[in-house]
Structure 1
Amino acid sequence: MAVTQQLARIPEGYLAACRQSAAASSDRDPHWDPPAYDVLDLDWAPALLKRAGEVAGLEEVHRDALRQATNGDTALDLGFRNTHPHAIAPFGDSPTGLAASQVARVSELLGQIDMPLLLAALPADERDAASLIGQVGSITGGLRAYLLQHFNALRDFYVDAAKRQLLVVLWWD
């Protein structure tokens, strides 16, 4: 099983309930189980998206938004999500998150990124583009299609989270 980046959209109340469940449970079970429609698997795309933005000359404010959308922040207390035996990030850094106000700002900035234009700035040769952004191996369907699909999914995920005033939690699993 490959280690991929996961995101979940959750209300503040859900996070509080999970903290309370973890504290009250003898085995520290937070009962973490967001609905499938509020979870996004970004695969290995985050690093490639960020690097493509750097290479293509994406403005710093948008690069920062992309970084924050895929790295999270330390503003949320998610310690209970990295505790054995119920850890959700056993293969990477501790889970991070974004508060609803941060989600709204990231959503707005992601919506300003013209990803097809950004991808057009990469070398035309697929192998050259892949080498430049650090992609190793081949991607079924091609690098540009992969990046566009994952960027669109990320942007749409944040747009919905912002509309619903949800937090976003990120981890590698």
Structure 2
Amino acid sequence: MAVTQQLARIPVEYLAACRQLAGESPDGDPHWNPPSEDVLDLDWAPTLLERVCGLAGLDDVHLIALRLATQGDTSIDVGFLNTHPHGIAPFGPAPTALSTAEVAHISELLGQIDLRAVLATLTTDETEPASLIGDGAGGIAGGPRKYLLEHFNALREFYRDASLRRLQLVLWWD
């Protein structure tokens, strides 16, 4: 079983209800079960995206936004989602979350990143970008460019929809 990056778009009220349920439940069960259409599996793309954007010289504002988009923030307490036996991140770091305002800001900045241009700064030979990126990028079916573009576009659209719907995001590795 591979550990991959997961994101869920949720209303503020849903997170509050899960927090309350966890506090009232004898075993801390938050009844966490966001709708599947509001969950995104980014696979192992976050580290690779950050690395390729860093190699391409993406400015700090957009690089930090990309990092927040995949790592979240700890200002919203979601520790109750990581309580045994109902923890959603048993194989990775503790879950994090982003407020609706953070989601809107990150969505705006992700929309400004031209990943095709970022990827164009790398050589056209697929073996060289794979060796620069590392982390097994050479073994990605279809090549790292296609993989990164697909996952970045999914991330950007996921944030755009969350921003339009004024939703929070919860992030974890599972």
Q: Using structure 2 for the length normalisation, give the TM-score.
A: 0.97
Q: Which residue of structure 2 aligns with residue 164 of structure 1?
A: 165
Aligned-residue Cα RMSD (Å) equals 0.8
CA distance in 1, matches of 2:31, 2:89: 15
Aligned pair count reads 173
Give ranges in structure 1 of 5+ residues lacking alignment.
none
Aligned with 1:169: secondary structure? strand
**1:91-102 equivalence runs, <5 A:** 91-102=91-102
Cα distance in 2 between the residues matched to 1:123 and 1:69: 26
Q: Which amino acid aligns with 2:163?
A: A
Partner amino acid, structure 2, of 1:46: P
The range that moved more, 111-120 or 127-136, is 127-136
AA aligned to 1:165 is R
Q: Does 1:2 align with 2:2?
A: yes
Question: Residues of 1 paired with 2:27 and 2:64: CA distance?
Answer: 38
Structure 2: segments with no counterpart, 5+ residues: none
Aligned to 1:26: 26
Alignment of structure 1 residues 102-121 onto 2, 5 Å = 102-121=102-121
Q: Percent identity?
A: 65
Q: Does 1:85 align with 2:85?
A: yes
Q: 4+ runs of 1 displaced by more than 6 Å?
A: none
- Which position in structure 2 is the counterpart of 1:145? 146
Distance 1:131 1:170 in 2: 28
Q: Which amino acid aligns with 2:105?
A: R
